[in-house]
């Protein structure tokens, strides 16, 4: 309870700081005494533009992967907030020229007149174009057939251009930069945003480059998966909690921005001397896992994530619900708890297409002798004579297997449709929302 209260307080403080930084530009509108007050709709459009620009600048903070920022919420919630608040910021920024057109259409028309006016009064228009491109490529990435790595690079470029052009637009208008404190305010904001970009694109990759890892083993697993075992090379390494994940860079420099998130699958008690990731062949990058060779250098950014039993040290027991390669964070939990000699009751529901697709099947059965572990396998295509559960994880199946005797913490990992269905079912079965936890790698 103390750990939960600590995360709750920290989360509330960070949320309060975010709101303060977002609304701070309104002080320029509300506290401005030098210029004469103008029409309500003009001032409202300016206020919305300032708030939208502040939101866009703070997006760099949300995506900078500061562990102290994400730990109270988990990366899943932070990235979800990042996506949703981007649409809110876009709406505010769109409202800025729309409302301004109501009171001063000639001033807005200049931004669209590429023949009779010079380019410099149109930086606000350029910022809007960059932001529109960012939103469109994110919402319709698959339809545009934009690869993940290409999307990430374009996302960074469009986001940076939107903020830079937006700040230049504020400076070029200058109506709310009459006083020294106003200029100092926007200078400080600009320095903060630039600093975040420098941290994300230069400083952090440089730190990763100085702390490489070396591949020790690439082990084939069931279900077209491979376990990648790595060790720190010339540095102490990192410690993680079971259920967390990290970003891996293979075959490239950390500056290349070609990194991918994977859950730790090994025991946290082996860290920092050894880290393990189990990767299923699903996409262009993951299909090359088998080509990684021992002795090869890789780079790690982490750990991240809140899907860990260590955040609930006083729980009576834990229930893990996994689908497909979503077994990896559960496997990290089982191995870690076994190494610690933890005898709290554990329950596992593991769903796969068939028996051959269940990664770690044999080891999970073996771990049952070291843990108080009850296992339920669910097969979509069971073999002849199968006496276990069949089909998919649904509400009826959960009703038969969820524990009733004690209050457990639930950890769910798997394909997004499964996550959504399981969460709805648990809620209908009376499991408190705060007792089940999931984390999605849906970054787009």
pLDDT higher than 80, residue 118: no
What's the pLDDT band for 265 if we cut at 50, 70, 90? very high
Q: Give the bridge partners for 225, in sequence order.
A: 221, 280
- The H helix count followed by the E strand count for the chain is 14, 12
Indicate the length of the chain as a whole number. 444
CA distance linking residue 130 with residue 159, whole number of Å: 7
Which pLDDT value is given to residue 49? 87
CA distance linking residue 159 with residue 82, whole number of Å: 12
Q: Provide the pairing of β-strand 409-413 with 436-438.
A: parallel
pLDDT higher than 60, residue 120: no
Residue 190 neighbours by CB under 8 Å, 6+ apart? 167
Q: What is the DSSP-derived secondary structure letter of residue 325?
A: G
Of all residues in the chain, what percent carry a pLDDT higher than 70?
A: 88
Which pLDDT value is given to residue 255? 86
Q: What is the pLDDT of residues 64-107, one digit of tens each?
A: 777 666 666 666 677 778 888 889 989 999 998 888 888 877 77
Q: What is the pLDDT of residues 157-210, one digit of tens each?
A: 888 888 888 888 887 777 777 777 777 777 787 788 788 878 888 888 899 999
**pTM of full prediction above 0.85:** no
Q: Determine how many CB atoms are found less than 10 A away from the CB of residue 122.
A: 20
What's the burial of 432, exposed, middle or buried (CB within 10 Å: 0-12/13-18/19+)?
A: exposed
Which pLDDT value is given to residue 441? 60
pLDDT higher than 80, residue 329: yes
Determine contact, residues 76/439, Cβ cutoff 8 Å.
yes
Domains of the chain: 2-208 (1.20.120), 213-304 (2.40.30.10), 309-438 (3.40.50.80)
Which pLDDT value is given to residue 248? 93
Which pLDDT value is given to residue 113? 67
CA distance linking residue 121 with residue 132, whole number of Å: 19
Which pLDDT value is given to residue 7? 58
Which pLDDT value is given to residue 444? 47
Which pLDDT value is given to residue 153? 82
* Average pLDDT across the chain, whole number: 84
Q: What kind and span of H or E run contains 332? A: helix 327-340
What's the pLDDT band for 237 if we cut at 50, 70, 90? very high
Which pLDDT value is given to residue 344? 94
* CA proximity to 258, closest of 293, 308, 301, 322: 301
* Coil, strand or helix at 220: strand
Q: What is the pLDDT of residues 283-318, one digit of tens each?
A: 777 888 888 999 999 999 989 888 899 988 889 999
What's the pLDDT band for 410 if we cut at 50, 70, 90? very high
Mean pLDDT of 413-440: 88
Q: What is the pLDDT of residues 146-170, one digit of tens each?
A: 877 788 788 888 888 888 888 888 8
Residue by residue, DSSP assigns 23-89 as HTTHHHHHS--SSPP--HHHHHHHHHHHHHHHHHHHHHHHTS--HHHHTTT-HHHHHHHHHHHHHHH
What's the burial of 184, exposed, middle or buried (CB within 10 Å: 0-12/13-18/19+)?
A: exposed
CA distance linking residue 204 with residue 63, whole number of Å: 12
CA distance linking residue 353 with residue 386, whole number of Å: 13
Tokens linked to 93: 């920024």
Helix axes 148-173 and 123-139, enclosed angle (nearest 10): 160
């Amino acid at each position: 309870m103390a750990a939960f209260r600590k995360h709750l307080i920290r989360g509330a403080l960070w949320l309060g700081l975010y709101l303060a930084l977002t609304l701070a530009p309104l002080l320029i509108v509300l506290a401005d005494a030098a210029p004469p007050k103008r029409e309500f709709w003009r001032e409202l459009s300016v206020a919305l533009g300032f708030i939208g620009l502040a939101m866009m600048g703070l997006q760099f903070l949300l995506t900078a992967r500061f562990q102290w920022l994400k730990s109270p919420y988990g990366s899943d919630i932070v990235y979800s907030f990042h996506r949703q608040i981007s649409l809110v910021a876009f709406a505010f920024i769109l409202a800025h020229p729309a409302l301004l057109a109501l009171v001063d259409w000639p001033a807005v028309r200049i931004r669209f007149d590429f023949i009779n006016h010079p380019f410099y009064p149109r930086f606000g228009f350029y910022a809007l174009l960059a932001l529109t491109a960012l939103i469109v490529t994110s919402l319709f990435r698959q339809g545009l057939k934009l690869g993940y790595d290409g999307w990430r690079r374009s996302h960074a470029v469009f986001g940076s251009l939107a903020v830079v052009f937006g700040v230049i637009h504020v400076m070029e208008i200058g109506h709310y930069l009459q006083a020294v404190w106003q200029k100092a305010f926007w200078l400080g904001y600009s320095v903060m945003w630039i600093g975040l970009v420098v941290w994300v694109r230069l400083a952090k990759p440089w730190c990763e480059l100085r702390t490489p890892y070396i591949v020790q083993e690439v082990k084939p697993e069931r279900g077209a998966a491979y376990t990648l075992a790595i060790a720190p090379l010339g540095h102490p390494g990192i410690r993680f909690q079971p259920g967390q994940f990290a970003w891996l860079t293979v075959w490239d420099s950390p500056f290349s921005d070609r990194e991918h998130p994977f859950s730790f699958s090994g025991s946290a008690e082996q860290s920092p001397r050894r880290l393990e990731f189990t990767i299923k062949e699903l996409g262009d990058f993951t299909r090359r896992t088998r080509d990684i060779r021992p002795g090869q250098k890789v780079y790690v950014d982490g750990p991240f994530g809140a899907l860990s039993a260590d955040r609930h040290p006083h729980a009576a027991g834990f229930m893990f619900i996994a689908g497909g390669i979503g077994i990896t964070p559960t496997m990290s939990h089982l191995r870690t708890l076994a190494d610690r000699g933890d005898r709290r009751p554990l329950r596992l529901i593991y769903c796969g297409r068939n028996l051959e697709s269940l990664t770690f099947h044999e080891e999970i059965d073996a771990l049952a002798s070291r843990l108080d572990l009850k296992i339920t396998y669910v097969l979509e295509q069971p073999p002849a004579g199968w006496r276990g559960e069949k089909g998919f994880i649904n509400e009826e199946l959960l009703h038969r297997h969820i524990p009733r005797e004690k209050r457990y913490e639930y950890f769910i990992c798997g394909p997004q449709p499964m996550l959504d269905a399981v969460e709805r079912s648990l809620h209908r079965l009376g499991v408190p929302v705060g007792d089940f936890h999931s984390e999605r790698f849906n970054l787009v």
